[in-house]
Structure 1
Amino acid sequence: MTELSAASIAFRDARVLDGSGRPPFTASVRVADGRIDAISEAPLAADRVVDLDGSYLAPGFIDMHAHSELRLFENPGAREKLTQGITTEVLGQDGVSVAPVPPNLTDEWAERVKSLDGTLGETWPWHTVSGYLEALESVEPAVNCAYYAPHGNIRSMLAGFEDRPLSGEHVVAAGPVTGQRLDRPKSDHDTAPGELDAIRQELEVALEEGAFGMSKGMIYPPSSYARDDELVALADTLAKRDSFMISHVWNETDRVVESIDRYLDICRRGGCHAHVSHLKVGGQQNWGDSEAVLDLFDDAVDRGQRVTFDQYPYTAGSTMLTALLPPWARQGDSEAIRHRLNSAAVRDRIAADISQPGDWENLAYAAGSWDNILITRTGSGRYQGDTIADIAAEMDREPVDAMCELLVAEELDVTMADFVMAETDIERFLADDRGTFCTDGIFGGKPHPRAIGAFSRILERYVRERNVLSPELLAYKAAGNPADILGLRDRGYVREGYIADLVAFDLDSVSANATYENPFQFSDGMEYVLVGGEIAVRDGELTGERNGDVLRSYEEWGGATRPELDRAADD
Structure 2
Amino acid sequence: MFDVLIKNGIIIDGKQTKMFRGDVGIKGDRIDAIGDLSSKSATKVIDAEGQYVCPGFVDITNHSDTHWTIFTTPTQESFLRQGITTILGGSCGSSLAPLVHASDIGAIQKWTDISQVNINWLTVKEFLDELEKHPLGVNFGTLVGHGTLRRNIMGDRNMPADKEELEQMRFLLGEALHQGAYGLSFGLTFSHGRPAGDDELMALAGLVAQAKALCTIHLRDEGKSLLPAITEVLRIVRETGVSLEISHFKALGREAWGDLPKALHLIREGREEGLPIHADLFPYVRTGSLLYAMLPSWARDGGRAAILKRMDSPQERRQIIDELERATLHFERITIASAHREKAIIGKSLATIAENLGVSPGEGMLYILKTNELGVTIFGETIQDADIASILQEPYTFVSTDGFGLRAESAISGDLTHPRSFGTTARLLGEFVRDRSVVDWETAVHKMTLGPAAKMNLLDRGVIAPKAFADIVVLNPETIQDIATFTQPYQYPTGITWVLVNGTVAVEQGTYTGAKNGKILRK
Q: Give TM class, smaller chain.
A: over 0.9
1:68-467 correspondence runs (5 A): 68-69=64-65, 70-103=68-101, 105-106=103-104, 109-110=105-106, 112-116=107-111, 119=114, 121-168=116-163, 194-356=164-326, 365=328, 368-380=329-341, 381-441=343-403, 445-467=415-437
Question: Residue 465 of structure 2 aligns with which residue?
Answer: 495
Map Cα deviations across residues 25-77 of structure 1 (whole Å, 9 max, x no partner): 00011111111011013424222221111200000001111111110111111
Q: CA RMSD in A?
A: 1.7
CA distance in 2, matches of 1:97, 1:356: 34
Ranges in structure 2 where 5+ consecutive residues have no aligned partner: 407-412
Secondary structure in structure 1 of the residue aligned to 2:42: coil
Distance apart, 1:523 and its partner CA:
1.1
Map Cα deviations across residues 65-123 of structure 1 (whole Å, 9 max, x no partner): 111111011111111101110001110011023222221642xx42x323435648233
| One-letter amino acid matched to 2:159 | R
> Does structure 2 retain, via aligned residues, the 8 Å contact 1:244–1:273?
yes
Counterpart selection for 1:45 from 36, 41, 44: 41
CA distance in 2, matches of 1:515, 1:526: 18
CA distance in 1, matches of 2:137, 2:113: 18
Map Cα deviations across residues 448-472 of structure 1 (whole Å, 9 max, x no partner): 1111111111011101110111110
CA distance in 2, matches of 1:195, 1:378: 35
CA distance in 2, matches of 1:503, 1:120: 37
Question: Residue 483 of structure 1 aligns with which residue?
Answer: 453
Distance apart, 1:346 and its partner CA:
2.1
Counterpart selection for 1:28 from 23, 27, 34: 23
Identity %: 31
> Does structure 2 retain, via aligned residues, the 8 Å contact 1:288–1:424?
no
Map Cα deviations across residues 222-275 of structure 1 (whole Å, 9 max, x no partner): 122211110011111111112221100111011112211111111211221121
> Does structure 1 retain, via aligned residues, the 8 Å contact 2:308–2:370?
yes
> Does structure 1 retain, via aligned residues, the 8 Å contact 2:215–2:244?
yes
Map Cα deviations across residues 485-505 of structure 1 (whole Å, 9 max, x no partner): 111121110000110000000
> Does structure 2 retain, via aligned residues, the 8 Å contact 1:68–1:117?
no
Map Cα deviations across residues 191-217 of structure 1 (whole Å, 9 max, x no partner): xxx332222221111111211010010
1:472 aligns with 2:442: yes
CA distance in 2, matches of 1:196, 1:303: 30
Counterpart selection for 1:529 from 499, 504, 516: 499
Distance apart, 1:538 and its partner CA:
0.6
Going from structure 1 to structure 2, the CA distance change for 1:238 and 1:430 (only over 3 Å counts) comes to: same
CA distance in 2, matches of 1:497, 1:145: 20
CA distance in 2, matches of 1:116, 1:220: 13
> Does structure 2 retain, via aligned residues, the 8 Å contact 1:71–1:118?
no
Map Cα deviations across residues 391-439 of structure 1 (whole Å, 9 max, x no partner): 1011111111111111111111111111111011100111122111111
How many residue pairs match? The answer is: 511
Going from structure 1 to structure 2, the CA distance change for 1:478 and 1:233 (only over 3 Å counts) comes to: same
> Does structure 1 retain, via aligned residues, the 8 Å contact 2:102–2:122?
no
| One-letter amino acid matched to 1:414 | V
Question: Residue 190 of structure 1 aligns with which residue?
Answer: none
| One-letter amino acid matched to 1:388 | L
Secondary structure in structure 2 of the residue aligned to 1:536: strand
Secondary structure in structure 2 of the residue aligned to 1:225: coil
TM-score, normalised on structure 1?
0.87
CA distance in 1, matches of 2:319, 2:295: 10
> Does structure 1 retain, via aligned residues, the 8 Å contact 2:102–2:121?
no
| One-letter amino acid matched to 2:156 | F
Question: Residue 186 of structure 1 aligns with which residue?
Answer: none
CA distance in 2, matches of 1:251, 1:330: 14
CA distance in 2, matches of 1:295, 1:336: 39
TM-score, normalised on structure 2?
0.94
Secondary structure in structure 2 of the residue aligned to 1:275: strand
Going from structure 1 to structure 2, the CA distance change for 1:244 and 1:285 (only over 3 Å counts) comes to: same
Secondary structure in structure 1 of the residue aligned to 2:194: helix
